[in-house]
Amino acid sequence: MKTNKIMIRENCIEQRTSDSYFNATLTVKNWNEENPKLKKEITEYHRLKSTKEFIEYLKINENIEKPYFSSNKGTWMHPLLYVDFCMWVSIEFKTMALKYVLDGLIKTRHSAGDYYNQMCAIIMEKYIEFNGCKPVPMIYINEAKMINEIACINIPRNLMTEKQLEKITILQKINSTLISEKVGKESRKKQLSLVSRSL
């Protein structure tokens, strides 16, 4: 599932889930708030010869059509350009950016979304089989809430850690199987609670 959501990472860093681009405007704003005497501007970074060369390299050699773009939320950068940008800002920001680019949070989030879709498809199939009509959307929402409650995770998905998303994914997979096998809700809750405690 690749819907375009904005994940909030540590240090209030924003990353888009659809393409992994980072909000450079927010990053430099955070830097400027922490270092008022060493303020930086994205335009300074863009004026550098090395930045221009790197952007051209990304376009030609990495087939990245738009290494950065602007929106009403600021300037968004491809992860490779973002690391270069963070290197320009500071060593601390460079380390942070490398960790974010190398972790598996985006992949895990997509996987959780895919298994949510699978779970919803099975719910629809079984609901139609028993009731002869499609379920109301609230049924899917309630099922997702139940999974979150069982996992003891009460925050929106765009704020979840990689580990929390992995747990949600496992529970969604198992729940999908149980729904397919026509296991009732209370029995599913008990089985999912046992699995959740073991994770």
- Final residue of a domain: which of 75, 102, 129? 102
The segments of the chain whose pLDDT lies below 50 read 1
Same-domain pairing of 14 and 37: yes
Is residue 168, in this structure, part of any structural domain at all? yes
pLDDT in tens, 156-170: 877 788 788 889 999
What was the pLDDT predicted at 9?
Answer: 67
Whole-number Å distance between alpha carbons of 196 and 198: 5
Whole-number Å distance between alpha carbons of 156 and 148: 9
Name the residue range of residue 150's domain.
105-198
* Model-wide pTM > 0.95: no
Is residue 1, in this structure, part of any structural domain at all? no
Four-CA torsion 199, 195, 186, 158, nearest 10 degrees: 30
- Final residue of a domain: which of 47, 69, 102? 102
What was the pLDDT predicted at 1?
Answer: 43
List Cβ neighbours of 86 (8 Å cut-off, separation of 6 or more). 27, 93, 94, 96, 97
What was the pLDDT predicted at 2?
Answer: 52
Whole-number Å distance between alpha carbons of 113 and 138: 17
What was the pLDDT predicted at 114?
Answer: 83
Same-domain pairing of 122 and 142: yes
Same-domain pairing of 98 and 10: yes
Element holding 148 (H helix, E strand): helix 138-150
Residue 183 CB-half CA count within 13 A: 15
Query: What is the tally of structural domains in the chain?
Result: 2
Assess contact for 89 and 32: CB atoms under 8 A: no
- Final residue of a domain: which of 102, 131, 153? 102
What was the pLDDT predicted at 112?
Answer: 82
What was the pLDDT predicted at 106?
Answer: 66
Same-domain pairing of 45 and 88: yes
pLDDT in tens, 86-116: 889 988 877 877 777 666 666 777 788 888 8
